[in-house]
Chain A
Amino acid sequence: MEYKDYYQIMGVGREASADDIKRAYRRLARKYHPDVSKEKDAEARFKEVGEAYEVLRDPEKRAAYDALGTRKPGEEFRPPPDWQFDYGAEAEAAAGAHSDFFEQLFGGLGRGRRGSFRSRGFDAAGQVEVTLEEAFRGTERRLSLQRVAVDERGHAEPKTQQLTVRIPPGVIDGQRIRVPSQGEPGMGGGPPGDLFLEVRLLPHRWFRAEGRDIWLDLPVTPWEAALGETVRVPTLGGRVDLKVPKGSQTDRQLRLRGRGLPGNPPGDQLVVLKIIVPPAQTPADEALYREMAAKLAANPRQAMESSS
């Protein structure tokens, strides 16, 4: 078991007052609260800070912790043989979210208290990364969950559980999905919690999702845009034919209704035309452009010239 320096975690000195500690906790909670934070390891940090606060806010726990003396964080640690802590009733309410270090000192998981009450297991949370194609069709994900199993004698044992989850079609970025009864196991015969997963859509080479709508920049030639031709367009459901309206300019948006992510109603695919000018690579190409310059009287800057 590794020693945890709760003062270092809270960013306060050993002599910090109760007010200092409360202030530090509030500030860190705002920074790392998983609902508020954009930091990568926010959830782990928030738990760590919560645990540190739980000890340092309570004068009895703090005194007991201080009595252990100072060690290096992460140093191998065993509680002194005469260690005793008369933990309050609130310690058991939050079990499962604590480090081994905390459990050894204050948790009392190993002291036969667990069997005496029945409670529902905690909800678990996680993220799944899904490609746009998978979001469109639905997919399966094999997840490895870190679980704390408690045996009859009350020993907490971390173990990894494998789980396959079927994700239905039509998930969008930030979507939460609920996997019933796959959270932490209940105690004393209580039911397990649920598993909540948040979906992250991975970036796609061509498509961009906005809610259920899918955006695509579609390169077209000047003549396809000018003459109005039918072009093949990729969608998540496969290629479709799209008639480019005659006389289209670049950035024109065309809507393929119902071709976005499935749902009720399904999203649309929005196609943004991007006119690509073919390079003049040969003398013949150049001659063609010169002929256009001579015969097509076009001045795209006319409005600028007349207004200045």
Chain B
Amino acid sequence: MTEPIRAVLLDDSVEFSLHELCAACHVSEELVVEIVAEGIVEPHGGNRAQWRFSGLAVTRIQRVIRLQQEFDVNLPGAALALQLLEEVERLRRARR
């Protein structure tokens, strides 16, 4: 049997640099800068070279890009949809 492959938790226990985040989400640095400017993800650190993102940023960026492309909306629209979806998911979880 082969050695099991290690999975990485995408939560706040892991950190991604801007470069690593772009690789994980297959997006350009420019797009991440736009997404940060929109307030969808918030890095720690002063300038771009020092930015550190939590693992949750990977999921949010992937979702916001999918929403933007597949519903043909702009970034602020996709950000609003994402925020509402996350709220619905939080409420659904709390109800169980």
Contact = CB atoms under 8 A, between A and B. Distances in A.
Contacts of A210: 93-94
A178 B10 contact: yes
A15 interface: no
Number of chain B interface residues as a range: 20 to 34
Contacts of B6: 165-166, 168, 179
Contacts of B10: 175-178, 196
A180 interface: yes
A50 B24 CA distance: 24
Nearest to A35: B63
B1 A35 contact: no
Contacts of B70: 29, 33, 50
A248 B57 CA distance: 44
Interface string A6-46: 00000000000000000000100110010110000000000
B7 A178 contact: yes
Given A29-B71, A164-B4, A176 B13 contact: no
A52 interface: no
Nearest to B2: A164
B11 to A, nearest CB: 6
B85 A35 contact: yes
Nearest to A197: B7
A163 interface: yes
Interface string B63-96: 1001100110000000001000100010001100
Interface in A146-182: 163-168, 170-180, 182
Contact of B11 (A165, A175, A194): A175
Given A30-B71, A178-B24, A35 B66 contact: yes
Contacts of B71: 26, 29-30, 33
A179 B67 contact: no
The residue in B1, B7, B24, B67 that gathers the most chain A C-beta atoms within 10 A of its C-beta is B7
B4 to A, nearest CB: 4
A173 B59 CA distance: 14
B9 interface: yes
A174 B86 CA distance: 11
Interface string A169-208: 0111111111110100000000000101100000000000
B69 to A, nearest CB: 11
B94 to A, nearest CB: 8
A66 interface: no
A166 B4 contact: yes
B9 A165 contact: no
A185 B81 CA distance: 31
Nearest to A143: B5
B1 A164 contact: yes
B13 A179 contact: no
A166 B5 CA distance: 6
A226 to B, nearest CB: 33
A168 B4 contact: no
A148 B94 CA distance: 39
Given A29-B71, A264-B13, A120 B26 contact: yes
Given A33-B70, A35-B67, A176-B59, A166 B7 contact: yes
Contacts of B2: 164
A165 B7 contact: yes
18 contacts: A35-B63, A120-B26, A123-B26, A164-B4, A165-B5, A165-B7, A166-B4, A168-B7, A168-B9, A170-B9, A175-B10, A176-B58, A178-B10, A179-B7, A210-B93, A210-B94, A264-B12, A264-B13
